[in-house]
Amino acid sequence: MKDNTLSKLGGTCSILLGISYVVVGISALLMPAAQKTGTFEQLIVSITQNPTMILLNWWAKALGAVFALGAVAAISATVRAGNEGWVRWTSNLAIVGFAVTAIDNFRLQFLVPLRAAGYVAGDAMTKAAIANNWRPVFLDPQGWLMFGAVGFWILVVSVLALRGGAWPKPLAYAGIAGAIALWLELASRVLGIGILDTIASVAAVILGPIFLIWLGLRLRQAG
């Protein structure tokens, strides 16, 4: 008898990951302006005064990445027959990328409020030390794993699904567009081009839930 638990569990995780994208988008929209476009000091002060939305954003990203770890295997299984080598390699890259995403965001929600409080209460030397050591909070500061590796996996499985007819064509095209959005986010961080971050964020918030929830429903139906 065929074991359908992978499809059912993976489908549920994919749906929950899609919902986490919705929460990320809503929380980002409701954040104070200082937490989106302010200077470093404005960001820190704002976090000490009104941390709710940015903490919700980090929690949604962290938990979404945990759910993603359950979705990768099930999604990959739907197209593995198309090219098992590429699927296995890129799915491993995706697992690493999502794991780093989870770790980074769990660290952020714990460490940043502590550092922000220390910055606001500290003297000039303390503020300089915290400002100069801000980057070590991140394991993947530019996002090569979080955005680059995950986007690579999504591109590969979407192209294989399109080529082999494993998914409806609109779903496969949504996956390809989502992969491009992740790479635009990576490019914005590496090159420092703000408009790319805006485009990538809007695309991810729109395409992410559509792609992941649709795919999750298909997986659960198959299970």
In a domain, 113, yes or no: yes
Looking at residue 187, what is its pLDDT? 94
Q: How many CB atoms lie within 10 A of CB 193?
A: 13
pLDDT tier for residue 1 given thresholds of 50, 70 and 90: very low
Looking at residue 3, what is its pLDDT? 59
Q: Determine the average pLDDT of the residues in 206-222.
A: 93
Does residue 107 register a pLDDT over 80? yes
Looking at residue 2, what is its pLDDT? 52
Looking at residue 138, what is its pLDDT? 85
Q: Report how far residue 130's alpha carbon sits from residue 153's, in angstroms, rounded to the nearest whole number.
A: 36
pTM value is 0.91
Q: Give residues with Cβ within 8 angstroms of 107, minimum separation 6.
A: 137, 138, 139
pLDDT tier for residue 193 given thresholds of 50, 70 and 90: confident
Enter the tokens of residue 9: 């569990």
pLDDT tens per residue, range 134-161? 777 788 989 999 999 999 999 999 999 9
Q: Measured in Å, how far apart are the chain's first and last C-alpha atoms?
A: 12
pLDDT higher for 181 or 223?
Answer: 181
Least confident range of 24-28, 82-86, 97-101, 122-126: 122-126
Whole-number average pLDDT of the chain: 92
Does residue 7 register a pLDDT over 60? yes
Looking at residue 158, what is its pLDDT? 97
In a domain, 157, yes or no: no
**Domain with 89 in it:** 5-138+204-222
Q: Report how far residue 212's alpha carbon sits from residue 149's, in angstroms, rounded to the nearest whole number.
A: 17
In a domain, 47, yes or no: yes
Diameter of the chain measured on Cα atoms: 68
Q: Report how far residue 11's alpha carbon sits from residue 9's, in angstroms, rounded to the nearest whole number.
A: 5
In a domain, 177, yes or no: no
In a domain, 115, yes or no: yes
In a domain, 182, yes or no: no
Looking at residue 129, what is its pLDDT? 87
Does residue 57 register a pLDDT over 90? yes
Does residue 132 register a pLDDT over 90? no
Structurally, the chain folds into a number of domains equal to: 1
In a domain, 92, yes or no: yes
Q: Determine the average pLDDT of the residues in 67-77.
A: 95
In a domain, 69, yes or no: yes
